[in-house]
Amino acid sequence: MSRKYVIAGNWKMNKTPEEGRELASEIASIISKDASVDVVVCPSFVALDRVSQAIEGSAMKLGAQNLYPKTNGAYTGEASPEMLRAVFAKYVILGHSERREYFGESDAFVNEKVKFALENLISPILCIGETLEQREANETLEVVKTQLLGGLEDVESQSMGNVVIAYEPVWAIGAGKTATPEMAQEVHASIRALLTEKYGEAIAEKVRILYGGSMKPANADSLLSQTDIDGGLIGGASLDSKSFCDLIQSARAAS
Ligand code: PGA
């Protein structure tokens, strides 16, 4: 089964609108119209519009780092899917471990956002992953299962073509530590098995499951060559055009 790779940059709270425009333009000029890999950049809310303009006409796509599951109204500090669509965001990162940890987001809330994103034609990148403590207590697969099934509760099979999953072991994020390709593959395979149980094989085989957590050019080839790793959600290495484009190149080579 060939799934199109996704290389998504999670810029987190980095880059002003002008810095974002510069970075996105550099990447866009390198990848141009080559759409063999889905390349997504996810700037902060304030940089979305500028970055959107910078990538217009290229094969790159825009993602946001969050959304609020309401159409509009008195929700200070939040942004709705309609606002994201207005700047042509096609993806949204949801359930990132930093949001779970620092902003107390639960599986139920993440699930609400996933469903609202889908209803509003934005593809969620649903992040799941265990902490070091949970890995050491042998709870990895259980944690991943709870977060996956919690995040996808009441998500119908016909929507699954628009859902991307990102497995991000929390202990590997921004830590310079990466899961070995075998460790990551084991979890990715179990995620696909859970998707098969819930949605059937035909659908599960189509869902892209990204790896995230200190992915960089030096370790990308071995991770991307694993059967169930269909791309990367990249933090640190997405802030530099050369590293990010090297990762795109790795995904092209693995395709
Ligand atoms: P990292 O971040 O690549 O800097 O580890 C990945 C992420 O948090 O999405």
Q: Are the C-beta atoms of 63 and 40 separated by less than 8 Å?
A: yes
Task: Name the packing angle between helices 17-31 and 48-55 (round to 10°).
Answer: 20
Show the tokens assigned to 107.
């599986």
| 163 falls within a domain | yes
At 126, give phi and psi (nearest 5°).
-85, 115
pLDDT at 49 over 70: yes
The pLDDT, as a whole number, for residue 177 is 79
The pLDDT, as a whole number, for residue 182 is 96
The pLDDT, as a whole number, for residue 71 is 97
pTM: 0.98
Query: What is the arithmetic mean of pLDDT over 56-79?
Result: 97
How far apart are the CA of 237 and the centre of ligand 1, in A?
A: 8
9 lines ligand 1 (CB under 6 A): no
| 1 falls within a domain | no
| pLDDT tens-place string over residues 147-171 | 999 999 999 999 999 999 999 999 9
Q: What's the domain count of the chain?
A: 1
Q: Which residues are annotated as catalytic?
A: 96, 168
Q: Are the C-beta atoms of 190 and 197 separated by less than 8 Å?
A: no
| pLDDT tens-place string over residues 123-145 | 999 999 999 999 999 999 999 99
Percent of the chain clearing pLDDT 70 (strictly above): 100
Percent of the chain clearing pLDDT 90 (strictly above): 95
**CA-214 nearest atom, ligand 1:** 5
* Termini Cα distance of the chain: 11
| 61 falls within a domain | yes
| pLDDT tens-place string over residues 75-117 | 999 999 999 999 999 999 999 999 999 999 999 999 999 999 9
Show the tokens assigned to 250.
């790795």
Rg (CA), the chain: 17
Query: What is the arithmetic mean of pLDDT over 206-219?
Result: 97
In a 3-state reduction of DSSP, which class is residue 9? Answer: strand
Residue (of 60, 145, 129) closest to 95 by Cα position: 129
Distance of CA 220 to the CA centre of its chain: 16
| Average model confidence (pLDDT) across the chain | 97
pLDDT at 6 over 90: yes
pLDDT at 61 over 60: yes
Residue (of 226, 246, 218) closest to 9 by Cα position: 246
| 246 falls within a domain | yes
Residue (of 252, 241, 255, 181) closest to 214 by Cα position: 181
10 lines ligand 1 (CB under 6 A): yes
214 lines ligand 1 (CB under 6 A): yes
| 85 falls within a domain | yes
| 239 falls within a domain | yes
Q: Where are the beta strands (DSSP E) in 53-117?
A: 61-64, 89-94
Q: What CATH number is attached to the domain comprising 110?
A: 3.20.20.70
The pLDDT, as a whole number, for residue 194 is 98
215 lines ligand 1 (CB under 6 A): yes
pLDDT at 1 over 60: no
Could you list the residue range(s) of the whole structural domain that residue 142 is in? 6-254
